[in-house]
Structure 1
Amino acid sequence: MAKARSKGARALIWLVVLIAGLIGVNFGAVQWGGGSWAPQLALDLEGGTQIVLEPVVAEGASVSQEQLDQAVAIIRQRVDASGVSEAEITTQGGRNIVVALPGEPDAATMQRIQASAKMEFRPVLASAPANAPGATPAPAETPAPSEPAATPETAWDQAWITPELFSEFEAFQCADVDTTTIAPADQPFITCSTDGTARFILGPVTVEGADIADAQVSAATNSQGQATGGWAVNLELDGDGPAGFEATTRGITNLPEPQNQFAVVLDQTVLMPITSNVIITDGNAQITGGFTQEAAQSLADQLRFGALPIGFQVQSNETISATLGADQLRAGLLAGLIGLVLVVVYSVFQYRALGLVVVLSLAIAAVLTYLVVTFLSSTEGYRLSLAGIAGLVISIGITADSFIVYFERIRDELREGKHLSSALETGWKRAFRTILVSDAVSFLAAVILFLLSVGNVRGFAYTLGITTFIDIVVVALFTHPLLRLLSRTRFFSQGHRLSGLDPQALGAVYRGRAQWRTPVAEGKAARSAGEAQRRQTIAERKAAMADATAKED
């Protein structure tokens, strides 16, 4: 018994450590990460920013619904990758795309939304530092052509640089970049880097952004596969991408700088020039360049989600009010409070003093849930919507169900005549398996719902998954250990009638192996014995019938 009590105390200590750890990481997020002690609210409860994107197409051309649907999916991926949750992305009038984001999005998120042009890979023909307004043009790394250019044969052929194009390049200002236009894919054009520090003459497109299958961040390695201590972006191409990438790397790898560079172009500006050091034949390349982990992740996200079927420009950007507001938030919280009160009332009525264990367990579950949701809100951009609150309310029922399974298992063991301490351990082993199976089903449903849904439904699935996992933690680290400790008290161990564990009130009739309590013949005792017999388990009834048959024989 001392061993069980020691295990219970250790489990409670681990719970305290867990709560302290969550408080600590939340404190760190508030102090150094710009977080808050309260969860951020989603668009339906707080309001936010609405951006209307208008497609940029040639005069007289139209946008198909398939193109719009594909664009919506890619923009949603961009928004999700930035850590913003509960965003609403829809089409408007069969032409525009409306992006509604909760709160005030940061500059990086706004850039991802607005950088909506088609991604391309183009070879670098020439480069130079950006020209300062009114200053002498900075010299280019490629000399001006001295004679009429021949007909270019490849996308990286210097013959693309005509005297007229070079003169335009020499005078070009980065402020002249027009991100709303779409440069012809089969012609060179002049542009600048996204940060406005460099100018480029780029050749025709050799790889389309739509051919990017995936881009993931990993530790950078050298040609021997050894880690270099930096970060890299692993690029995977499909479709026509591998062939185009192989042809280009084969043509530019041994050229002098900057002709040995690829330019990753998004929204008509160069995200970064990539130097080709080796011929890539299988469509899998590793991009390095002294990245930090954050910079590598940002580039990977842009590569994965940058390829839109059409270009877009921002038509409007305005603040919008909450679609539901504080009244619905209060209504959702009130619904949760009513459900909580009903669970508490039922627990106290059904389980007497054990109902207090339910109340304490629910309180611990609420603390853990609040700390986890707040931490995710501060660090991962999670926002609590009305659907998410519905997931929290439903979790009350899931947690109460676990208590009922456990308590009823204990009471079944007591009905078989076991001592409380033995009933606790046996009942726990049987109940915990049932609880795990039940919670596993709920968690699986939440995961599937999260993966297959969008918008507010994902918020519901998210909170449902979190609270289902927390339910297991609370039952294992608090409810069962607390009952272990309470079982050592006289009130519970002797089965006080208000404890909820009174063997007589439960109809216990079994008194050891094959020994049954003899019914008392008269009065109230007789009625109690009859009630006890009626409440025998199936196993007890079979044993009693077998015993009666043996006596008749």
Structure 2
Amino acid sequence: MAAPKKGRRSPGAQGRPGRALVGILVAMVALVGGMFLSGNTTPRLGIDLAGGTSFTLEAKNEPGKPNAINNANMDTAVNIMERRVNGLGVSEAEVQTQGSKHIIVNIPKGTDADQAREQVGTTAKLGFRPVLSIGDPKPTKDPGGVPKPNETPDKGDDGKKPAQGDKGDKDGDKGDGDSDKSDATKPTSTPTTQGRALPSALRKAPTPTPTPTGDAPQKPTKEQADQAKQAEELQKQFAALDCTSPKARSAASSKAASRPTDQPIVACDRKGQAKFVLGPVELEGDRVEDASAVFSAQGGSGWIVQLDFDGKGGKQFGKITGELAKQQSPQNQFGIVLDGEVASNAEVTFAIKGGKAEISGGFKQGEAEDLANILSYGSLPLTFDIVDETTVSSALGEEQLRAGLIAGAIGLALVILYMVVYYRGLALVAIASLAVSATLTYSLMVLLGEAIQFALNLPAVCGAIVAIGITADSFIVYFERVRDEIREGRTLRPAVQRGWPRARRTILVSDFVSFLAAAVLFIVTVGKVQGFAFTLGLTTLLDVVVVFFFTKPLMTILATRKFFATGHPWSGLDPKRLGAKPPLRSRRRPAAPADTKEA
């Protein structure tokens, strides 16, 4: 038999096993070091283990929508709430219906309960309304600050003409595509202390109409009388509204949110610094496809929310802004109204086309991100009230976790005992591989808790325990392949190399099936079961990494050591104990038949 050429490797050989071992050990040290550098050495726990906050929300009937509370709308609300809460960086939040009109939201400990409460309870009904009048946030005794519908002053109450930037048609038509986009969406200056004239939307009140002969004016129609009454009520509400009072502001926003979208409203801005009379909704918020919070240094805007409209919404928005650009201030503005509160009032100087817009208004980063999160996931189909809020104890979860860990420890001890009894010295390889796998799994769970808010719940713990058997099964497959080669009469070094290709295929197929099952389970399930699927999939991937980059290189190195290479009785590779045939080299000599030698 010709000797192999120098530098030639046998099938499945790994040329430099030391490099693979060093690589995986460096990766392990890096993960553990990152865990300590992050300042957190324990995994993030789910609500069943760490406790948390539970909200109970009750759906309310809305005027004109007697049948709005149904299964379809409740399921939609659950999906939106779940996405909103997880958009805050919360994982393992539980959102589920209870009965026909209640939704239970469970949020793990460590989450800002106030922020979560605002997110899940916000209806997020967004509308773009034209600004009819702006005033000081404080109430005024004289409602005359808001002109009557049949008044059309050409000047502000201070007697000054509108600013040059607020001109009508000419200036409004000058906007070009290169114009500063923030001009169309930046907040207005400090609100005037007195109101402005209401436009034609409220100017349909009965105006004395002379007869052709110049006699007594005609009597107004019923429709004109109703419009006049509505305008008068708006004037009174506008004058009496105190936006500096949080209680009054909340009441005003609730009242404005409950009004039909085709009716004007009186509303405060979200900071209580101005109050508005706004016309009917010109563009519904459900036309917003996406929203994101970004920092803009342009014009000192700071944090803003960028909106992307769908095709129809983009065309409507372009048409509306084109019409507003022709008006004088403040009627060249539109209010972005969220749940009856003005999130931003933007001044328009040209038509904004292309289906994109911005909401600005001195947002802080958290405020911009919260607003973008709400708008991204859409408005709730129903209005909800939080009727109960309780703190969930983790005592029961701790007992279950303790019982699960004890069961896992017993299972691991039995696996190690079996390895020692059956594989003897090879059990050291299996134990070392299990230790590496456990270290990688634990450190990744801790780091993923910080990175993607992965929370370890009881099903996830079960997935980690099940993974012990999957990992041990991979070692057993490889060990048995090596022992089969020894039974065929090969020595340990070629047995380690020749047994690897067969073992590798079996391990990959087995792990692929496990990972596929975990992936399908993760996709089709919700809640805690996803934690089990995620952990099972993660540990399955780590099993492949450990077997390829630790177990196999370690076996290659141990095959050169005398204790294993000579088949010591306690190595687990004793040829006599395995019933090995004579060496293949002797059986291949033509002058010496194998049967004679065995006899």
Q: Under a length normalisation based on structure 1, what TM-score does the superposition of the two structures give?
A: 0.77
In the alignment, is residue 327 of structure 1 matched against residue 403 of structure 2? no
Aligned with residue 337 of structure 1, among 394, 401, 409: 409
Matching residue of 1:28: 37
How far apart, in 1, do the equivalents of 2:485 and 2:343 lie? 68
What root-mean-square deviation, in Å, do the aligned CA atoms of Structure 1 and Structure 2 show? 4.2
User: Which string of whole-angstrom CA distances, capped at 9 and with x for unpartnered residues, describes residues 125-155 of structure 1?
Assistant: 4556755999xx99635973458856579xx
The more displaced of 248-257 and 307-316 is: 248-257
Helix, strand or coil for the counterpart of 1:329?
helix
Matching residue of 2:286: 210
Post-superposition shift, 1:190? 3.0
The structure with more radius of gyration: 2
Is the 1:266–1:306 Cα contact (8 Å) retained in structure 2? no
Is the 1:385–1:456 Cα contact (8 Å) retained in structure 2? yes
- Number of aligned positions between the proteins: 507
- After superposition, residues 42-441 of structure 1 pair within 5 angstroms as 42-58=46-62, 61-62=66-67, 63-106=69-112, 107-127=114-134, 131=138, 140=191, 144-145=195-196, 149=200, 151=202, 165=234, 168-169=237-238, 171-174=241-244, 175=246, 176-177=248-249, 178=251, 179-181=253-255, 182-215=258-291, 235-238=307-310, 241-252=313-324, 262-273=334-345, 279=351, 283=355, 297-322=369-394, 324-441=396-513
In the alignment, is residue 465 of structure 1 matched against residue 537 of structure 2? yes
How far apart, in 2, do the equivalents of 1:76 and 1:216 lie? 18
Matching residue of 2:174: none
Post-superposition shift, 1:24? 3.1
Is the 1:119–1:306 Cα contact (8 Å) retained in structure 2? no
User: Which string of whole-angstrom CA distances, capped at 9 and with x for unpartnered residues, describes residues 37-93 of structure 1?
Assistant: 222322223332111112233369351222111111111111122222222222233
User: Which string of whole-angstrom CA distances, capped at 9 and with x for unpartnered residues, describes residues 77-133 of structure 1?
Assistant: 111222222222222331121212222531433321232343334344455675599
Helix, strand or coil for the counterpart of 1:89?
strand
Amino acid across the alignment from 2:93: A
Is the 2:196–2:330 Cα contact (8 Å) retained in structure 1? no
Is the 1:442–1:465 Cα contact (8 Å) retained in structure 2? yes
Amino acid across the alignment from 2:26: V
Is the 1:119–1:308 Cα contact (8 Å) retained in structure 2? no
The more displaced of 115-124 and 390-399 is: 115-124
Amino acid across the alignment from 2:195: A
Post-superposition shift, 1:360? 1.3
Post-superposition shift, 1:339? 2.2
Helix, strand or coil for the counterpart of 2:18?
helix
Is the 2:243–2:273 Cα contact (8 Å) retained in structure 1? no
Helix, strand or coil for the counterpart of 2:516?
helix
The more displaced of 97-106 and 321-330 is: 321-330
Is the 1:450–1:461 Cα contact (8 Å) retained in structure 2? yes
Post-superposition shift, 1:382? 2.5
Matching residue of 1:511: 584
User: Which string of whole-angstrom CA distances, capped at 9 and with x for unpartnered residues, describes residues 445-469 of structure 1?
Assistant: 3233222221111111121122122
Is the 1:49–1:104 Cα contact (8 Å) retained in structure 2? no
User: Which string of whole-angstrom CA distances, capped at 9 and with x for unpartnered residues, describes residues 418-451 of structure 1?
Assistant: 4433333343344334433432332233233222
**Structure 1 unmatched ranges of 5 or more:** 31-35, 154-158, 223-229, 527-553
Helix, strand or coil for the counterpart of 1:316?
strand
Helix, strand or coil for the counterpart of 2:468?
helix
Is the 1:264–1:272 Cα contact (8 Å) retained in structure 2? yes
- Residues 489 and 125 of structure 1, relative CA distance in 2, 3 Å threshold: farther
**Structure 2 unmatched ranges of 5 or more:** 1-5, 146-188, 205-227
Is the 1:118–1:310 Cα contact (8 Å) retained in structure 2? no
How far apart, in 2, do the equivalents of 1:505 and 1:247 lie? 88
Amino acid across the alignment from 1:51: F
Post-superposition shift, 1:490? 0.8
The more displaced of 7-16 and 306-315 is: 7-16
Helix, strand or coil for the counterpart of 1:41?
coil
- Residues 493 and 319 of structure 1, relative CA distance in 2, 3 Å threshold: same
- Residues 389 and 263 of structure 1, relative CA distance in 2, 3 Å threshold: farther
Post-superposition shift, 1:392? 0.7
Is the 1:252–1:261 Cα contact (8 Å) retained in structure 2? yes
Is the 1:253–1:278 Cα contact (8 Å) retained in structure 2? yes
Helix, strand or coil for the counterpart of 1:478?
helix
Is the 1:54–1:314 Cα contact (8 Å) retained in structure 2? yes
User: Which string of whole-angstrom CA distances, capped at 9 and with x for unpartnered residues, describes residues 200-256 of structure 1?
Assistant: 44332233333334445789899xxxxxxx998664444853443343233335666
Helix, strand or coil for the counterpart of 1:355?
helix
In the alignment, is residue 16 of structure 1 matched against residue 22 of structure 2? no
How far apart, in 2, do the equivalents of 1:438 and 1:277 lie? 65
Matching residue of 1:453: 525
- Residues 15 and 271 of structure 1, relative CA distance in 2, 3 Å threshold: farther
- Residues 67 and 358 of structure 1, relative CA distance in 2, 3 Å threshold: same
- Residues 12 and 263 of structure 1, relative CA distance in 2, 3 Å threshold: farther
- Residues 449 and 141 of structure 1, relative CA distance in 2, 3 Å threshold: farther
- Residues 445 and 215 of structure 1, relative CA distance in 2, 3 Å threshold: farther
User: Which string of whole-angstrom CA distances, capped at 9 and with x for unpartnered residues, describes residues 471-530 of structure 1?
Assistant: 2222233222222222221111222232223344444436149728966879xx86xxxx
How far apart, in 1, do the equivalents of 2:24 and 2:389 lie? 47
Is the 2:134–2:195 Cα contact (8 Å) retained in structure 1? no
How far apart, in 1, do the equivalents of 2:534 and 2:96 lie? 22
- Residues 276 and 151 of structure 1, relative CA distance in 2, 3 Å threshold: closer
Is the 1:122–1:265 Cα contact (8 Å) retained in structure 2? yes
Q: Under a length normalisation based on structure 2, what TM-score does the superposition of the two structures give?
A: 0.72
